[in-house]
Every structure is written in structure tokens, then in C-alpha cells.
Structure 1
């Protein structure tokens, strides 16, 4: 019947593997990279990252990549560049000179897509660093990791919707109306994952937004991989564990490229056949809502599940206003006086005998 009504003319079989979208979150905290400058400067780390990106794109012609910078005061796109950064009407503007800031150089010895990505990424990173003022650096010593993860999730979700609306499915049949072959059990669709290259330490003040992004990634089945170059972050460990990602902490940051190529290059479909490196112990501690301190033992509101390191003033939850039933917490314990034992009198260094005579058996 397909040959009769002509529907077979619109069917095409696609046997290619599912494309992969790799969204990289690069921590560009100036304070952290200043400490790593003697071991691994930022310029060398970006060069290693470009080799890793090229390897990811070389696996499949349909693979995609995006890079987000987690800076000290904001999260910014490095690649792809925002439309306003490229300039309006770039196709029709005619200039006499050659603008190296908007056009990629023509290199016959380099693959054109690799050259375009490298040019846009380095240009965006240079603009981000140049726009960072002394006040921005001195105002905070941390990084906007939660904002960068939010941008990465939003881009991944938008790319997935766009790919599904295109009506093309890998390892199956595609129809003009976007229908797919339901009998094919081969994984299809755009495989999205997030790789975080972190150099910052404590992120306790971003506990709530980071956990929100973790749960969103878990729902979307987007793994979050963590490559820790320095410092220790409890919540990134939890994000990687909750989303079935890969967590790796490098003792020697100079081995960045080897770790990227061997530990984070395989996508979700390839990882089913491999044993990925991961952490043996996960720190599941939380941060309190009052002081943003990581706590081992705290007080939890039974209504909104807010965590406090100490009972708030008036035993009132700072989030929902519920009265916390603390019981006898903070009350002084009842002191029971101990019975004093009678001390024996000591005469000339020897204990005196008792005034009571020795009992004699009665006749």
C-alpha cells in the first residue's frame, strides 16, 4: 500500500548514530586561575579544551558543542556567540579593512569548522576578560556556577526541541510529519550532556539554585560531568551522582588533556560499553538556609524542608514561617544532687575505728 499511495517516496532510512550535544561550562574565576597559573595557566587550559572539542566534533558530523563561561560576576556565552555580539547586518556591511574581531582568519592548514569555533571562543573569552573590572574581581572570590548551569540546561532543552521538530530520527525512518518507527528499540534523538571544568572551591551560597538545576537535569536525563582541577565542592559531587555523570578530581592539573580525552569523550551510548571513572564516596551534606554553611547535623522544617544549623529566633522557619517544634531543646537539664558519703576520721595517718562495737553472737 505504501507504493500505491506514494508514501514510500517520502520515507528515508537513516542508519547514522544519534548526534551528541556537548555543553561545556568553563569556570573562569580569576582568583582560582591566579593560584593555578604556575601549574596550568588559563591559556593552556583553553588550548587543551579546543583539542577536546575538535575530537568531539570529529566523531560525528552532526555533533554539536556549546561553551558557557562561569565568571566571577556573571555567566556568559563563549560559543556560540549571541546574535548581538556578532553585530547586526554583518552580511551587508562593507569595509575597506579586514576586521579580525568579527571574521575568522582563513587557514588552509586547519579544518574550517574547527577554525570558526576557535576564533569565536577565543574572541568571546577575550571580551569577557577585558570587560571585567577591578571592582568585579574584588567584590567576590567565587563563580556564578548556578547561572552557567541554567544557561547550559536551557540551551540543551532548546536544541532537543529543535531537533525533534525537524522530524529526523537516528537509526530509524523519518516521515514528513515527524513520525518515527515505534518498533525500533535503538536509542534515537539528540544526546545532551554537560561538562563542568571547575577550579573554584566553596559554592555553599548557591546551594538552592545548583540543586534545582541538578533536579532539572535529572528529569531531562542530561548527565552532568565534573572535572575538578582544584578545590572541593560538595554540591557538584551530588550533581554528578544524581545525574549519573562522571566525577574526576585531578591531582595533577597538567594532565588536563589526557583526562578529557580518556574520561569525558564518550557519550551516553558509548558509556554503556565502558567503565567510566567515578568517585567512590559522595559527600551528601547540605548547606543551611540561614548562614549558607555546610552542616553535618541540622534542624529541618517539616513543611518546606528548610535546613538550619541552629534554631532560628523564636523557633520560626525563615522560609515558610512555620513554628518549629523543638521540644525540650535548649532547656537546662535537671540537676540531681548526689548523696555525700561520710568520710572516716583519720588519726595519726590511720583510720579510726568505728564507735560501734563488734557484734557478739548471742547465747
Structure 2
């Protein structure tokens, strides 16, 4: 047709930026927020976080967001709210629900407000209601069980959600299958034009050491590194070695502000650009990174440890039960390898050779004496 009518037709390509998925892990540890209540209360932090989420959603109409709470005893979804299990069907094939029309509970419970964008109101209502339910369901026994937070579980939920969203953004065969996700997973090796999804994880942390979760957190870091998902860290309080390593290994941004009350400013200036925009920007760096590891026996960060030659597990002491590795069960001879620190022998000073029977350090008759610095007049 192009040769007949003499027109030059070009195929239009979509030059819009790819959709961006932001998974936020919010540390809701009551112990840590109690120390920050005078500087930055949890309510103010959530308000600043909602403004940041709205800015991310407003950056593109295809942008998505997921918020996960890392609590003391569990990791809980804040947005999107998990759907309840499907109702059981009776023998005649009808559902046993009481007049449910299948509409989303998040959209139906949001009051109408003409001065607010609908999507912003849905996200805000879901996050505030789920945070309130999480805090009300926390008992004294949950707070007394551990002073840390379940970051490892929250990271696993974020990575699983990102992997599922990446599959849903891929094209689905028009023939239709019973399980489109499995069909997409089987077609990973085929050459198809897929819509790229830019994903990243932001952890807003206020808790201290997480050495007791060293193994699951490192597994999540390796999974994010393999999928090229950067992990950004905003450390409002405390200090953890694992989060520094997570940011450095995945190419994320690590920031520990001196004034936590400026949370919104740090979020908007340092963590709003996605991976596509960061190629044209100079992002802040964490400086020195602590690469120490935690032992597998007591979950403590160690400077010097003993490594299993089979599974590379790290131990802080050679005194293992029956000299067996606690991870793989291999026999280890750590006690024989652990010896006392050898004593340092002082090195003997070499005597200088004598020239003409005199010491070379003393100028002889044939050696001109050193002159002073010449003075210009």
C-alpha cells in the first residue's frame, strides 16, 4: 500500500517511561518508635510517607505501589489489602456468600471527596486502617518476645509481589490458559516483546541490630541482586550492618539523616527518582560500608570467625558440639586450627659498613662535609 498511495507510514513506538513499582517496607517496631516519639512520632512519619506515595503515583499513570509493615512478630500487608479466601461452594455450584457482589472493599469503603484524587484516597484509607488494626492486635506478649522487627519476612513479601507483578505485565497468550502465571513462567526462554517493569524496594528502618536474621536477609539480598532490584535504605534510628550491605550489593541508596523530623524532604529529594531517572542524576552515597558478617551459632556480628569449608557457614568459636558444623553436619577440626597468636620476634638491626676504617655515618677525610642551605642576598 505504501508504494501505491505514495505515503510514508511509520510504526509508532511507545516512548513513554516504563511503569515503576515501589515496594515500601515500613518498620513499625513500637520499641523503636517510642524512642523517636519526641522527634518524629509514628503518625507524622505515616503522613509524610503518604505524601511521598502520592508523588510517586503522580509521576506516571502506570506507577504502582505496595506497602508492607515490618512488625515485631510478623510482616503484614498495608497496601494492597489481601483479599479474603474464596467462599466455599455448595453442591449445586452456588456460592455461600450473603449478597456479596464481588466489589473491592478498599474502593467501596472510601468516602467520596471531590477535592482529592480517587487513587490517593484509596491508598490513604487502606494504609491508615491496616496500621490501626495491626497496632490494636499487638499484645504485650508480642512486644516482650523480641525487641527487633521482622525485616526478613517483609523483604520476602516484597520480592514475591514484585516477581508476580513482573509476570502480570508480560503479554498473555490469546488462547487463554487455566493458569496464565505458569504459562508466563514457562515462556521465560522464548523471545517475546515484554513490557519492562522498573521495581525497587525502600526500607524505612528505626530498629537496631538484625544479626539474628542474617541468613534470611542475605538470601533476600542475593535474590534482589539477581533480579536487579535496588534496595534503598532510610535509617531513621539505630544502625545495622545488614542494611548497609543490602544497599551496597543491590546498588541502592543508603541514607541516615541526622534530623529525622525532615523525613519528607529526604524522601522527596533522595528516594523519589526511580532506576531510570537515576542514570541522569548523582545519587547520595553511604560512604564506608561495614562488611562484617554474623555468626551462625549465636547470630552476633564478628570481626574474626571460623568458616566451614563445605557450606561456608561462619562461627564465632571453634568449640562446636562433636566438632560438627551446625548447618551441614560436616566434621570440622576447628580446635586444632585455632592456635595461640605467634609472638613477634624483633628484627635485628643491620650494622652499617665502615669505609676506610670509620663508620659511614661519620664523614671521613675524603668525604666532604655537608653545607648549609645557600642564602640568596
Structure 2-normalised TM-score? Answer: 0.76
Alignment of 1:302-341 (within 5 A): 302-311=309-318, 312-326=320-334, 328-329=336-337
Q: Deviations over 1:296-355 (max 9, x none)?
A: 0000000000100001133321111222233744568999xxxxxxxxxxxxxxxxxxxx
Structure 2 match to 1:61? 61
Is 1:158 the equivalent of 2:164? yes
Structure 2 match to 1:360? none
Is 1:210 the equivalent of 2:217? yes
Alignment of 1:162-177 (within 5 A): 162-165=168-171
Pick closer, same or farther for the CA change 1:333–1:292 going to 2, 3 Å: closer
Structure 1 match to 2:101? 92
Tell me the SS of whatever aligns to 1:83. coil
Structure 1 match to 2:16? 16
d(CA) in 2 for partners of 1:277, 1:271? 11
Q: Which of 125, 128, 134 is equivalent to 1:122?
A: 128
d(CA) in 2 for partners of 1:333, 1:286? 22
Contact 1:289 1:307 in 2 (8 A): yes
Contact 2:106 2:122 in 1 (8 A): no
**Shift in Å at residue 15 of structure 1?**
2.3
Q: Deviations over 1:76-117 (max 9, x none)?
A: 0000001129997785399xxxx9996011111111110111
Contact 2:24 2:201 in 1 (8 A): yes
- How much is the aligned-residue C-alpha RMSD, in angstroms? 3.1
Contact 2:81 2:106 in 1 (8 A): no
Contact 1:86 1:102 in 2 (8 A): no
Contact 1:101 1:123 in 2 (8 A): no
Structure 1 match to 2:299? 292
d(CA) in 2 for partners of 1:308, 1:224? 27
Contact 1:28 1:70 in 2 (8 A): yes
Q: Deviations over 1:200-241 (max 9, x none)?
A: 001001000000000000001100000000000100110110
Pick closer, same or farther for the CA change 1:138–1:48 going to 2, 3 Å: same
Structure 2 match to 1:229? 236
d(CA) in 1 for partners of 2:341, 2:269? 59
Structure 1 match to 2:28? 28
Equivalent pairs, count: 311
**Shift in Å at residue 133 of structure 1?**
1.0
Contact 1:166 1:178 in 2 (8 A): no
Tell me the SS of whatever aligns to 1:202. coil
Q: Deviations over 1:32-74 (max 9, x none)?
A: 0011111000000000000000000111000000000000000
Is 1:268 the equivalent of 2:275? yes
Is 1:251 the equivalent of 2:258? yes
d(CA) in 1 for partners of 2:20, 2:338? 56
Contact 1:27 1:199 in 2 (8 A): yes
d(CA) in 2 for partners of 1:67, 1:3? 54
Which sections of structure 1, spanning at least 5 residues, go unmatched?
5-10, 168-176, 182-187, 336-363
Tell me the SS of whatever aligns to 2:84. helix
Tell me the SS of whatever aligns to 2:25. strand
Contact 1:26 1:197 in 2 (8 A): yes
Which sections of structure 2, spanning at least 5 residues, go unmatched?
5-10, 88-96, 174-189, 344-377
Is 1:189 the equivalent of 2:174? no
Contact 2:69 2:78 in 1 (8 A): yes
Structure 1 match to 2:356? none
Of 80-89 and 65-74, deviating more is: 80-89
Pick closer, same or farther for the CA change 1:86–1:271 going to 2, 3 Å: farther
Pick closer, same or farther for the CA change 1:276–1:295 going to 2, 3 Å: same
Structure 1 match to 2:371? none
Structure 1-normalised TM-score? Answer: 0.79
Pick closer, same or farther for the CA change 1:222–1:233 going to 2, 3 Å: same
d(CA) in 2 for partners of 1:116, 1:332? 64
Pick closer, same or farther for the CA change 1:270–1:206 going to 2, 3 Å: same
